[in-house]
A and B are shown apart, each in its own frame.
Chain A
Amino acid sequence: MTPPCKDPILALAERSAGDKLWPAFPSGLTLLAVGGYGRRHLFPYSDVDLLLLVAHSRLAQEAPDAISSFLRTLWDSGLRLSHSVRTPEECAEIHDQNIELNVSLLDQRFLAGDRALYARFAGRLPRFLHAQRDPLMRNLTRLTRERHEKYQNTYYHLEPNIKDTPGGLRDYQLVRWLAQIRNVEAPQTESAFLFLARLRCFLHSRCGRDNNALTFDAQEQAAEYFAAPGTAQWMREYFLHARDLYRAAVREMESSEAQSSSLFAQFKDWRTRLSNADFSVARERVHVRAPHALASDPELALRLFQFVARHGIRLSSETEQRVAAVAPQLAEWFSMPRPVWPALREILSLRYAAEAVRSMHDTGVLRAIFPEMAQIECLVIRDFYHRYTVDEHTLVTLQVVASLRGNREPSIKRYTDLLSEMEEPALLLCALLFHDVGKGSANGAHADASLCAAEPALERIGMPRPERELVNFLILRHLEMSAVMNSRDLQDPATARHMAERVETLERLKALTLMTYADISAVNPAAMTPWRAEVLWQLYLLTYNELTRELETDRIPSAPSESPEKRAFLAGLPMRYARTHTAEQIDAHLLLDGLFRQRGVAVSLEKVEAAWRLTLVTGDRPFLFASVAGTLSSFGMNILKAEAFSNSQGTVLDTFTFADPTRTLELNPTEIDRLRVTVERVVLGRQDVRQLLQNRPKPALPSRNSQVPPTVSFNPEASDSATLIEIVAQDRPGLLYDLAAAISAEGCNIEVVLIDTEAHKAIDVFYVTAAGRKPESAQLEKLRDALRRACGG
């Protein structure tokens, strides 16, 4: 900026000083401009910062009247004056508590007075800056981080303060100060500065005071004043500039930190050993070894973000720019249907998924993969409830999910547990990515529009159908739970029934609860009050209990439209069976049912994704479920999930999903047949499962810190005809066999089973009866002891 021909403030100060100041101080006093005035960035109604430099503190004490009379004259003429009186020695000290004094000197310039004194001071200043470089940078960085923290470290605010919010004018100054202290050239941020400077002049003139809040009203007026096509477009421009400044500020702070402490640098540099053939890590930043390959190898970009998601290390600014530059080529490549989902799923499953997705968003890669996201980029929801723009809100939801991991806060930990029970958290994150995309289209309910955008996108990236169904469900119903929380009586049994009908399965309920938690939390930092978290949790509990209750109680009535065989097979199976199985699966089970009628047992074994699934149809008999579980254990298989259903004819359908940790079945195809035949023989009573188990290898003892204390609980009220037993225990090979055998040994019959494993924790739910009724309490007490023993191994 060019200085004006004649500075009116200087003229005023010279005149006043001539009258009041110089008579008392013929020498030994210098008038300096500091702060905004010093750097010639003075805005209307802003403070004018003056420093009165005195040769000795004694001098100032001798003539206090002259100084105050001088300042009063300036004050009375309408200047908002902010002054300080210092000796050169005071200026050359680090003031940890008053870092502003040190910083204001960075912008000092001579106005009037004793030139010799100024020359002495100005000669010392560079030496001071050099000697005190580290504490200065540290203090500046600390102050800035505190300021950014206050605004949740994001430049997206619907009513930003254009001076203090991240990406505001303070960040512009910070970048220049740090560069000045380090004696390097400041990065180019002039266009952002000019935008903000003009805006600040406008805001100050508009209010007639030093007001930097860009409120909704002010946004509308500013858009009009600067002749923008619309308020939303103009705000988008604001956000783009703020983003540039914020990124420059973060980069400068990081470079300063890296430089200011060799110890810090060493600590951070241990991560260099994470470097691999594609990427290198230096100074806590990822670099691509062959950046030119990014344009020709789009999968390299995906691997790059997998690397970020795995290690939580950010891209170097050079890499960021390189990736952003090839985004158009990537967009072209991703616009064709390609199996991108496995790579994306990995990114979304890793610990630092939220950081990786943010980085993909910042470099334009996310939009290259999903052009649908362009609709919500910097999209402003103009109300007071939504703090962030839509894209930022979306990224914050992912951060909320990440922040759940390992959270011990009691009111939050229950959501943490829920997350650890999710089979595929990547699907939740994927649904969150798309849940508000529909806000970008003009009309109608946004959940529908989001689904319309997501469906073709998910198909294009090759997400398998069952997973797509869950994601689609979550997107379409993402407002359901908050709507029920706000408008339904939770104590009314109809509410739980309504919710249960909507979600249909426990799996969906868990995912939708987490989705709602993340969505509300990301509206603004205060939106998820403990009160709301409690209401949401109650809704989850009520629906959970409703779903588990009907698991046993609600049975499929006979369906007259089906064939007689199918009707007979389905009659009396739990409703859950119909909900969780596709028509093809039901037909396959029907075939097994036919086979069972001829041979007394029917078993099928197939590979599903990374696991195997065994399906068994046979007539009910004691120890059946336990025997099959035991047989699988004797083959070294690890049971991940199991379900047992029985229909009204006493036909049992059991499914076991299990992992094959030693890849026995994969490497020895003959073992597949041997396993199937062995299960058939055990079911028909031709082989004793206890004999099989005698040869089984002893399970490794779990490590001390991963011990899960076993809990065994009974709930006789959950169902009309059976008692629900819920067991949470440390998982180990053979656990399911031991539990099921204990139940059968007590003379109880297993009606329905739901087995789930999360890491080393097994969550098993059995619905048991004894002689067709709920077991007596004495029997249950014996059973509790037996089950506790079984948990212990």
Chain B
Amino acid sequence: MKKIEAIIQPFKLDEVKEALAGIGVDGMTISEVRGHGRQKGHKEVYRGREYTVDLLPKLKIEVVVSDARCDELLKTLAAAARTGKIGDGKIFVYDVAEAIRIRNDDRGEAAL
């Protein structure tokens, strides 16, 4: 099993959700996060003060899938989240040792 963690542009959420639903991935965790990568922040001038936007608002999506589905999901996710510009975000893939459904103790891929 793999855990896929993607940092994406907030406005891309609907597209990403739809694309994932299109390949049958419905379950995901979404959180509002702030951060920066190589895009860094930028500066805005307002009321005479420089207003540094160093941490940009992003969304983090987390999905756990079976190894077999991982590549398809990565392709779909990247295609949906891409604008081609700086700040599109990143995707990280982790190995998952175990998954347990708390309700009935299902284990492994059955718990996904």
Mask of A698-724 contacts with B, CB within 8 angstroms, 1/0: 000000000000011101011000000
> In the assembled complex, which residues on chain A have CB atoms less than 8 Å from the CB atom of B11?
485-490
Mask of B45-89 contacts with A, CB within 8 angstroms, 1/0: 111110101000100000000000000000000000001010100
Complex: A541 Cα to B83 Cα, angstroms? 23
Complex: A411 Cα to B48 Cα, angstroms? 18
Query: Shortest distance in angstroms between B73's beta carbon and chain A's nearest beta carbon?
Result: 23
> In the assembled complex, which residues on chain B have CB atoms less than 8 Å from the CB atom of A107?
none
Complex: A686 Cα to B14 Cα, angstroms? 67
B34 beta carbon closer than 8 Å to chain A: yes
- Complex contact A541–B57 (CB within 8 A): no
Contact A541:B51 (CB < 8 A) given known A486-B11, A535-B10, A715-B45: yes
A532 beta carbon closer than 8 Å to chain B: yes
- Complex contact A491–B44 (CB within 8 A): no
- Complex contact B47–A726 (CB within 8 A): yes
Nearest B residue (CB) for A490: B11
B98 beta carbon closer than 8 Å to chain A: no
Residues 523-568 (chain A) with a chain B CB within 8 angstroms:
529, 531-532, 534-535, 538, 541-542, 544-545
The listed residue (A488, A535, A544, A727) touching B57 by CB distance below 8 A is: A535
A250 beta carbon closer than 8 Å to chain B: no
Complex: A792 Cα to B87 Cα, angstroms? 44
A479 beta carbon closer than 8 Å to chain B: no
Nearest A residue (CB) for B87: A491
- Complex contact B57–A538 (CB within 8 A): yes
> In the assembled complex, which residues on chain A have CB atoms less than 8 Å from the CB atom of B57?
531, 534-535, 538
> In the assembled complex, which residues on chain B have CB atoms less than 8 Å from the CB atom of A544?
46
Contact A711:B44 (CB < 8 A) given known A489-B11, A491-B85, A532-B32: no
Contact A545:B46 (CB < 8 A) given known A531-B57, A535-B10: yes
Complex: A763 Cα to B34 Cα, angstroms? 32
Complex: A529 Cα to B32 Cα, angstroms? 9
Nearest B residue (CB) for A534: B57
Query: Shortest distance in angstroms between A588's beta carbon and chain B's nearest beta carbon?
Result: 33
Query: Shortest distance in angstroms between A286's beta carbon and chain B's nearest beta carbon?
Result: 41
A728 beta carbon closer than 8 Å to chain B: yes
Complex: A532 Cα to B13 Cα, angstroms? 14
Mask of A460-491 contacts with B, CB within 8 angstroms, 1/0: 00000000000000000000000001111111
Query: Shortest distance in angstroms between B53's beta carbon and chain A's nearest beta carbon?
Result: 6
Complex: A544 Cα to B44 Cα, angstroms? 10
> In the assembled complex, which residues on chain B have CB atoms less than 8 Å from the CB atom of A529?
32
Complex: A544 Cα to B45 Cα, angstroms? 10
- Complex contact A541–B44 (CB within 8 A): yes
Number of B residues, CB within 8 Å of A: 21
Residues 10-25 (chain B) with a chain A CB within 8 angstroms:
10-11, 13-14
Q: Looking at B11, B13, B42, B87, which has the most chain A CB atoms within 10 Å of its CB? A: B11
> In the assembled complex, which residues on chain B have CB atoms less than 8 Å from the CB atom of A489?
9, 11, 83, 85
Nearest B residue (CB) for A484: B11
Contact A538:B45 (CB < 8 A) given known A489-B83, A531-B34: no
Complex: A487 Cα to B9 Cα, angstroms? 10
Nearest A residue (CB) for B48: A713
Query: Shortest distance in angstroms between B85's beta carbon and chain A's nearest beta carbon?
Result: 7
Contact A712:B48 (CB < 8 A) given known A531-B34, A532-B32: yes
The listed residue (A486, A488, A491, A545) touching B45 by CB distance below 8 A is: A545
> In the assembled complex, which residues on chain A have CB atoms less than 8 Å from the CB atom of B48?
711-713, 715, 726-728
Residues 323-354 (chain A) with a chain B CB within 8 angstroms:
none
Mask of A216-256 contacts with B, CB within 8 angstroms, 1/0: 00000000000000000000000000000000000000000
Complex: A535 Cα to B57 Cα, angstroms? 7
Mask of A737-766 contacts with B, CB within 8 angstroms, 1/0: 000000000000000000000000001000
Query: Shortest distance in angstroms between A252's beta carbon and chain B's nearest beta carbon?
Result: 42
> In the assembled complex, which residues on chain A have CB atoms less than 8 Å from the CB atom of B32?
529, 531-532
The listed residue (B9, B14, B46) touching A541 by CB distance below 8 A is: B46
> In the assembled complex, which residues on chain B have CB atoms less than 8 Å from the CB atom of A711?
47-49
> In the assembled complex, which residues on chain B have CB atoms less than 8 Å from the CB atom of A538?
44, 53, 57
> In the assembled complex, which residues on chain B have CB atoms less than 8 Å from the CB atom of A487?
11, 14
- Complex contact B10–A542 (CB within 8 A): no
Nearest B residue (CB) for A712: B48
Complex: A745 Cα to B7 Cα, angstroms? 54
Complex: A609 Cα to B83 Cα, angstroms? 51
- Complex contact B83–A713 (CB within 8 A): no
Query: Shortest distance in angstroms between A192's beta carbon and chain B's nearest beta carbon?
Result: 38
Complex: A476 Cα to B70 Cα, angstroms? 45
> In the assembled complex, which residues on chain A have CB atoms less than 8 Å from the CB atom of B46?
541, 544-545
Complex: A529 Cα to B30 Cα, angstroms? 14
- Complex contact B10–A713 (CB within 8 A): no
> In the assembled complex, which residues on chain B have CB atoms less than 8 Å from the CB atom of A532?
32
Q: Looking at B48, B57, B85, which has the most chain A CB atoms within 10 Å of its CB? A: B48
Complex: A485 Cα to B13 Cα, angstroms? 11
Nearest B residue (CB) for A715: B45
- Complex contact B83–A545 (CB within 8 A): no
Complex: A271 Cα to B33 Cα, angstroms? 48
> In the assembled complex, which residues on chain B have CB atoms less than 8 Å from the CB atom of A531?
32-34, 57
Complex: A136 Cα to B40 Cα, angstroms? 59
Query: Shortest distance in angstroms between A85's beta carbon and chain B's nearest beta carbon?
Result: 38
Complex: A717 Cα to B44 Cα, angstroms? 11
24 CB contacts below 8 A, A to B, read A485-B11, A486-B10, A488-B11, A489-B9, A489-B11, A489-B83, A489-B85, A491-B42, A491-B85, A531-B32, A532-B32, A534-B57, A541-B44, A542-B44, A544-B46, A545-B44, A545-B46, A711-B47, A711-B49, A715-B48, A717-B45, A726-B48, A728-B47, A763-B47
Closest 8 CB pairs of A and B: A713-B48, A531-B32, A726-B48, A541-B44, A711-B48, A535-B57, A715-B45, A487-B11
New A-B pairs, 7, CB < 8 Å, besides A489-B85, A545-B46, A711-B47: A489-B9, A534-B34, A538-B44, A713-B47, A713-B49, A728-B47, A728-B48
